[in-house]
Structure 1
Amino acid sequence: MYAQALFLTGASLLLSPVLAWDSTPFSPPSVPLAVRTPYLSVWLPQGAGTALNDAWATFWNGDVAAWTGYVKVDGIPYVWLGAPNVPGAQKATQKSLEWTSTQSIFTLQAGTVDLTATFLSPIEPSDLVNQSLPLSYLAVSVASNDGKPHSVQVYTDITGEWITGVDTWTANWTTTTTGGVLTHQVQLANQARYEEVNDHVQYGAAYHATINTSGVTWQTGQDSVVRGQFIQNTNLANTADTNYRAVSYSWPVFAFVHNLGEVTTSTEPLVYVVGHVRDPAIQYITANNGRQDRSVLFWTRWRTAASAISAFIKDYPNALARANAFDAQVKADALKISSDYADIVALSIRQALGSIEITVSKDRFGRWNTSDITTFMKEISSDGNVNTVDVIYPAWPVFLYTNPALGKQLLLPLFEYQATGQYPNKWAVHDMGSSYPKAVGHNDGQDEAMQVEESGNMLIMALSHAQKSGDNSLLHKYYGLLDQWTQYLIQDSLVPAEQLSTDDFAGRLANQTNLAIKGIVGIAAMSKIADIVGDRAKAKNYSSIAASYVQQWQGYALSSDKTHLTLAYGEDSSWGLAYNLLADKLLGTNVFPQEIFDLQTQWYSSQAHDYGVPLDTRHTYTKSDWEIWTAGLVTSTEVRDLLISSVRKYAADGKNSHPLGDWYETADGSAEGFRARPVVGGHLALLVVPNHS
């Protein structure tokens, strides 16, 4: 199928899986349940349609993160969350799923009552302390569906699988009441600071909490015993199992029951909090190969995890109101493009922001240094690096849209490190560390080399941050570094040597047309930066160089018949998504002529497969982030909508069951290896580029 067949309005809807329940706006590959940080990232795998009580919740990488829910109605127990096999309970019937930018809302029928479970992972861009909290909500309300009163009790538990990817390791746990909040805390018996195993961090603790109102009981112990206690006796025993053991040995669970008594109309929500807290969070390199421990920002407001949890759980009504307002604003903004676009954006924001942690340092007296706030991103799924420049870059639109300060905080560690002179290469570093959460740099210079890619990325992001925020501090403070990288781009952008681009899975290539675009825009960006800091001579010089390079580049990059840009110079039959042109629009550098944008628009209109336009001619796969970036640069609404609807069609096709993968096949909509990556933040590109937003 080629492009023309996809121009039908709503064509993507036709391929959504047929479900036994309503799923609005569509059934995603995996539903975000508690997605706040790289270590609090719990999902419901969907595939062609999986009810909330058809499967276990999983960590982003597919490891089980068991989360169980029962409801008892007039003495009859029903499972509404998870896939427990304790005998004696029926399965509730899922009626609907609705999700927004911040919430996933399930409604299930358990006999004569309907139960609504709202999983809220707040997006709080205007309050970075709130945004930094590694906590998420589950709110449950119940209502009679036959107009008659019914006796109702609600049960939930989590397991030790929330703290480790190795179930044979030993855990211990406690249950406490602080400030009217009941909290289960579970952690590994043997902890290893800053270490990961199977993408799970090996220190800190998981939490499961609820308000200690009348009618609440709790219990810790073997899964079959604790769940059986509820099924047979309604309430839990308020007892602790202190036989600390391996996570998988007699599976200890950490449970609560709320006895709601007689229920007719919808109850006030029962609010639960889940979280994963550790301190310190990040090991950070300083001058002279020093090391600094950095903590998550929320510690500046709360002295203990218990006080943070207490404040968080009691703030639920306000947090929900803020979330609803945020969801409505995002939807209104994205609907100005299209409904398909609004759907993609809503699915992307939790995933993107769930990759970051906002941190703060302490001064020499042990006091919080709130003038030193930096943000760290895990390159989830693809290799686990810290603050990978070419992962921050495709995700960049989500930060420009939600709060440009987050973008600045992501760039700061990269600038600060390279300003110490410890990184030996003349181009920009690829990342801040090979293994999250250790941001310890690459003093040997042996990071993955993406010379033009990362240098251009840093210049483009630094300028766009200043333009969106009005804060020029990065440009002034790190002008020397920005100029150094520009000098490198002048050497290697017009005719790039053989090297990797951000699409490193596609391999090295010389004379990359799209990479040259990035380098040239980077030089043009430096012209604007120089102008901002008052260096008029360099501003003029770099502007002249960029203009000259564009003229020469057109001679190299255009196919001989002038119908399209090639993938690499001189290879007439090759082509690719020239997504780096979007930066020229984002920054307003406008160094590439309009006819190039028109030319590529025409070309892409004839190159689409069933699920979009391939990344380039070497393969039939594509990247969803670059599809949307390309949608932001084309000059035809029809082609723009083709690209957008192709990504939505892929997201809704029911063929994949892990958090949205950005790398997929245009021929059949199957996902490649990536999952849950922050680059889906790039799906917000049309909300930050002039003429679209």
Structure 2
Amino acid sequence: MFRLLVLTLCGLGSLVSASTFSPARPPAIPLAVKSPYMNTWLEVGSDGGSGGILPGYWPRFWAGPQPGPVAGSNGAVTAWTGFITVDGTSYTWMGAANVNGVVPPSVTQTSFEYTSTRSTFIMNVAGKISMNVTFLSPVTPNDLRRQSVIGSYLSVTVAAIDGGSHSVQLYADTSAEWTSIHNTDIAQWSYSVNNGVASHSSWRQTQSEFNADYPDDAAHWGYWHWSTAATSSMTYQSGQDVTVRGNFLDNGTLPDTQDTDYRAISDDWPVFGFANALGNVGSSPVETLYTIVHAQQNAIYFDGANGDVSVPSLWTSYFSSDSALVNFFYGDYGNMASLSDATDNQFAGDSIAAGGQDYSTITSLSARQAFGAVQLCGNETKPYLFLKEISSDGNIQTVDVLFPTMPIFLYSNPILVKYLLDPLFENQESGQFPQTYAMHDLGPNYPRAIGHPTGDGEYMPLEECGNMIITTLAYAQRAQDTAYLTQHYAILKQWTGYLVDEALIPANQLSTDDFQGQLANQTNLALKGIIAIQAMSEIASKTGNGADATNYSNIAHDYIGQWQEMAVVTDADPPHTNLDYQNDTSHGLLYNLYADRLLGLNLVPQSIYDMQSAFYPTVAETYGVPLDTRDVYTKSDWQMWTASIASKSTQTLFISLLAKWINETPTNRAFTDLYNTQTGDFADGPFIARPVVGGHFALLALNGAPTAASG
């Protein structure tokens, strides 16, 4: 019998308090973050998180049920358990398993480090064994086949650190909780071996494609595949949590049996375990690799040019079955690791060169979250990239979420911006949205991209017209795709007509910051519309529509002159733009100015840039510059948009305060973009795990920006 030490929860802190964090201690740590449905994190912050320690806490889905205030609510558990037995004594290295009242003592976590694609924990086991536990969620923006795989790696490498040799057994399991956030749902599962890869597969027994039975944040269809190498030293078991885990703790192995009593997730909590007998481990590292893959044949229900259709996951264009997908992903680990190294090095290197280590701290934490809110669908001939507005709403392809997210895609591979825009153009150009302005989203509930054929949806007409025009030109400039501008010229011109009528003096309406409520004469919103009119002049010039180019340019230049008269508070010290034309005691982040620089339009005088740069430091708080004078909340994405076009000293201020927030915030959920600048805590809204952190790449997206418009 293997000896098991019992440790009370109150003793955990003494073993795990020594961990260091690099480059920062984030509010939450991404573990398996690859899509809106594969989105598992370790909560960290002091609002009830783990403090960044892997053993002793359950990983959680980004959200799950939210019965109360965000700061006090927990996401649904996606149980993931790891044990290690060294010389007959067992320890926990992941999760919070209690086996019939016994809690194996936690290994000592000595350090944690994150990159754009990896979260790495270094553990010490009783001074005998070192463990490297690395979660890798690949980001391969230039390799669509690999990026289309909704999969994540878990690598555990062990080696002796005391000069000796030690008997080591390793255990890891996932639970049926991955299949649904509703623990009363019935799960089903199976075990198989294909081409040397062993897989526990689990799924919601009653599949509901596209979550048709009721809107939900977690998928009601698809199959979860938890896999490792089928070696002679590996044993497996599915069954009740305490039974499977107890078998390993008692024996160091599993009995190679399958439980076929399919049941509700909370009924004896089914888990799917692997045990690996690693033998006598010395100073040479021994690695065990696991993968988890979420496979959905169909991914999106889309009302496009041909009416309502089921859009397949893009991976189905490359792999004939779930097992082929799983086998490829498992066997591709070496290539994926190399590609991820390249991503990590590029993102970090470019970020440090552009904004220093603090900027790399921000972008590295943002990458997986941004890519984890989108999914590649369609086929090789016609790919789509569908986006979920996580947490703040369930909308799909929300235009004013796509817009702040855009910089990471412009920077990493501009074609991804086209794949985001295509579904929006396809739906509206086929006559399925009757308004003359651009729609707000493609549907209220991801993954049902059914549009708004009656013309309803959230009313942000000026906001979305400006966003669509600016984003389309930004893509076309980077990809040198003038044909795309020609293809969509008619509807772009239609939306520009709306801006000509409405942009200079905005009516009482919402901007993208809809949590602040409606406001008339919004200075920043007007600026977006005016810049978009000038962007349309550039689009007209590029597509051979000279008369339109001249007309729109004349209008934009006339409007920007009038805008300055109404927007600038000249008698303030220092002067600055106001929040709305009538209110000279107000101010706000003029983040829409970024589009002028991004597109190389040179419409707005440099004096506006300089004036705002001088002003922002005078209103900075502990963790950033407030969004506007209505409260002390701010948005991290808009701060980075603003920072990227500010003077160097002001840019450094913005970046350093956001990096400080990452390291000190009490929030315990995936990177919130809306927070209190004085306390660092959550604001009122549940803004968690949103893709808009892609906007933190705003400074990098300026690489390759035109220096002057051609028109």
* TM-score normalised by L of structure 2: 0.92
CA distance in 1, matches of 2:248, 2:285: 21
- The reply on whether 1:164 has 2:167 as its aligned counterpart is no
In the alignment, is residue 650 of structure 1 matched against residue 652 of structure 2? no
Q: 1:668 aligns with which of 668, 671, 679?
A: 679
1:545-564 superposed Cα distances (whole Å, 9 cap, x missing partner): 11110011111111251611
Amino acid in structure 2 at the alignment position of 1:469: A
Q: CA deviation at 1:339?
A: 0.8
Q: Partner amino acid for 1:265?
A: S
The one-letter amino acid of 1:591's match is L
Paired residue type of 1:164: S
Counterpart-to-counterpart distance in 1, 2:473 and 2:286: 48
Q: Which moved more, 1:149-158 or 1:648-657?
A: 648-657
Tell me the residue number matched to 1:38.
36
Contact 1:686 1:692 in 2 (8 A): no
Task: State the match for 1:5 in structure 2.
Answer: none
SS of the residue 1:281 aligns to: strand
Counterpart in the other structure of 1:677:
690
Aligned partner of 1:117 among 116, 130, 133: 133
Deviations 1:74-103 (A, max 9, x none): 111110000101226221111110110000
Q: Classify the secondary structure of the residue corresponding to 1:434.
A: coil
Amino acid aligned to 2:88: G
The residue that corresponds to 2:21 in the other structure is 23
- For 1:508 and 1:175, the matched residues in 2 are separated by 54
Deviation at 1:692, TM superposition (A): 9.7
Deviations 1:157-198 (A, max 9, x none): 000110111101111100000111100111111121111654
Q: Residue 497 of structure 1 is aligned with which of 507, 532, 540?
A: 507
Is the contact between residue 172 and residue 274 of structure 2 (CA under 8 Å) also seen in structure 1? yes
Shift of 1:675: 0.6
Match of 2:121 among 106, 109, 126: 106
Gaps in structure 1 of 5+ consecutive residues = 1-17, 361-368
| Matched residue type, 1:613 | V
> Which amino acid is the alignment partner of residue 518 of structure 2?
R
Please report how far the alpha carbon of residue 691 of structure 1 lies from its aligned counterpart in structure 2 after TM superposition.
9.1
Contact 2:305/2:426 (<8 A) preserved: no
2:275 is aligned with what amino acid? V
Q: Partners of 1:512 and 1:487 in 2: how far apart?
A: 19
SS in 2 for 1:606: helix
The counterpart of 2:598, out of the listed 586, 593, 609, is 586
Q: Which of these residues, 75, 78, 99, is aligned with residue 88 of structure 2?
A: 75
Shift of 1:265: 2.1
Q: Provide closer, same or farther for how the CA distance between residues 184 and 277 of structure 1 changes in structure 2, counting only shifts above 3 A.
A: same
Q: 1:26 to 1:19 in 2, by over 3 A?
A: farther
Deviations 1:474-513 (A, max 9, x none): 2111100000000000000010111110000000010000
SS of the equivalent of 1:644 reads helix
Q: Does the residue aligned with 2:657 lie in a helix, a strand or coil?
A: helix
Contact 2:97 2:103 in 1 (8 A): no
Q: Do the aligned partners of 1:136 and 1:274 also contact (CA within 8 Å) in 2?
A: yes
Whole-angstrom distance in 1 between the partners of 2:124 and 2:476: 51
- Residue by residue over 1:237-258, the C-alpha shift from the partner in whole angstroms, topping out at 9 and shown as x without a partner, is 1000001111011111001011
Please tell me whether the aligned partners of residues 411 and 703 of structure 2 are also in contact (alpha carbons under 8 angstroms): no
Equivalent positions of 1:94-243 (< 5 A) are: 94-111=109-126, 112-195=128-211, 198-243=216-261
Mapped contact 2:244–2:273 kept (Cα < 8 A): yes
What is the match of residue 301 of structure 1? Answer: 318
Q: Secondary structure at the match of 2:464?
A: helix
Q: Which residue of 1 aligns with 2:566?
A: 556
Deviation of the 1:611 alpha carbon? 1.0
Amino acid in the other structure paired with 2:190:
T
- Give the one of 574, 579, 583 matched to 2:586: 574
Cα distance in 1 for residues equivalent to 2:192 and 2:483: 46
Instruction: From the superposition, tell whether residues 309 and 469 of structure 1 become closer, same or farther in structure 2 (CA, over 3 Å).
Output: same
Given that 1:297 and 1:358 are in contact with CA atoms closer than 8 Å, whether structure 2 keeps it comes out as yes
Tell me the number of residue pairs that the alignment of Structure 1 and Structure 2 aligns.
666
Structure 2 gap ranges (5+): 1-15, 64-74, 707-711
Tell me how far apart the structure 2 counterparts of residues 132 and 287 of structure 1 sit (CA, whole Å).
Answer: 23
Please report how far the alpha carbon of residue 438 of structure 1 lies from its aligned counterpart in structure 2 after TM superposition. 0.3
For the Cα contact (< 8 Å) 2:598–2:705, is it kept in 1? no
> Which whole-Å CA distance do the structure 1 matches of 2:656 and 2:641 have between them?
13
1:54 aligns with 2:56: yes
Secondary structure at the aligned position of 1:291 is classed as strand
Q: Does 1:509 align with 2:526?
A: no
CA contact under 8 A between 2:388 and 2:396: conserved in structure 1? Answer: yes
Could you tell me whether the CA contact under 8 Å between 2:509 and 2:519 is conserved in 1? yes
- 1:689 matched to 2:705: no
SS state at 2:618 partner:
coil
Letter in 2 for 1:178: N
Structure 1 residues 386 and 177, CA gap change in structure 2 (3 angstroms): same
| Amino acid in the other structure paired with 1:95 | T
CA-based RMSD: 1.4
Give the corresponding residue for 1:253.
271
User: Equivalent residue for 2:104?
Assistant: 89
Q: Give 1:600's aligned residue.
A: 612
Contact kept in structure 2, 1:559 and 1:570, CA below 8 Å? no
Determine whether 1:314 maps to 2:314.
Answer: no
| Cα deviation, residue 50, structure 1 | 3.2
The 1:19–1:647 alpha-carbon spacing in structure 2 relative to 1, beyond 3 Å, is farther
Corresponding letter in the other structure for 2:208: A
Matched, 1:440 2:458: no
1:272-330 CA-to-partner distances (Å, cap 9, x unmatched) read 01122212100000347x21111111111110111111111111112111111210111
Q: How does 1:378-457 map to 2 (within 5 A)?
A: 378-457=388-467
User: Whole-Å Cα distance in 2 between the matches of residues 199 and 663 of structure 1?
Assistant: 20
Please report how far the alpha carbon of residue 266 of structure 1 lies from its aligned counterpart in structure 2 after TM superposition: 3.8
Kept in 1, the 8 Å contact 2:476–2:482? The answer is yes
Once the two structures are aligned, what percentage of the paired residues are identical? 45
Looking at structure 2, the residues matched to 126 and 306 of structure 1 have their Cα atoms a distance apart, in angstroms, of: 24
Q: Secondary structure at the match of 2:298?
A: coil
Counterpart of 1:370 in structure 2: which amino acid? E
Deviation at 1:267, TM superposition (A): 2.8
Tell me if the contact between 1:165 and 1:197 (Cα under 8 Å) persists in the aligned partners: no
In the TM superposition, what is the alpha-carbon distance from 1:269 to its structure 2 partner?
2.1
Please give the alpha-carbon distance, in whole angstroms, between the structure 2 residues aligned to 1:691 and 1:177.
48
Q: Specify the alignment match of 1:335 in structure 2.
A: 352
One-letter code aligned to 1:154 = L
Distance 2:305 2:479 in 1: 29
Question: Residue 300 of structure 2 corresponds to which residue in structure 1?
Answer: 282
Please name the residue that 2:11 is paired with: none
Q: CA deviation at 1:370?
A: 2.6
Give the partner amino acid of 1:168. Answer: T
**Contact kept? 2:233, 2:278, Cα under 8 Å:** yes
- 2:474 partner amino acid: S
Q: Secondary structure at the match of 2:576?
A: coil
Query: What SS does the corresponding residue of 2:382 show, helix, strand or coil?
Result: strand
Assess if the C-alpha contact under 8 Å between 2:304 and 2:423 holds in 1. no
Name the SS for the 1:591 alignment partner.
coil
Inter-partner Cα distance in structure 1 for 2:532 and 2:62 = 34
Determine if contact 2:405/2:694 at 8 Å carries over to the other structure.
Answer: yes
Q: CA offsets, 1:502-547, max 9 Å, x none?
A: 0000000100000011001100100110011111111111111111
Residue of structure 2 equivalent to 1:469: 479
The one-letter amino acid paired with 1:572 is: D
State whether residues 597 and 705 of structure 2, in contact with CA within 8 Å, keep that contact through their aligned partners in structure 1.
Answer: no
Match of 1:536 among 510, 524, 546: 546
Contact 1:152–1:263 (8 Å) recurs in 2 = yes
1:190-224 per-residue CA deviation (whole Å, 9 max, x = no partner) reads 12111165411111121110111220110000000
* Closer, same or farther: CA 176–147 of 1 in aligned 2, 3 Å: same
Provide TM-score, normalisation by structure 1: 0.95
SS in 2 for 1:370: coil
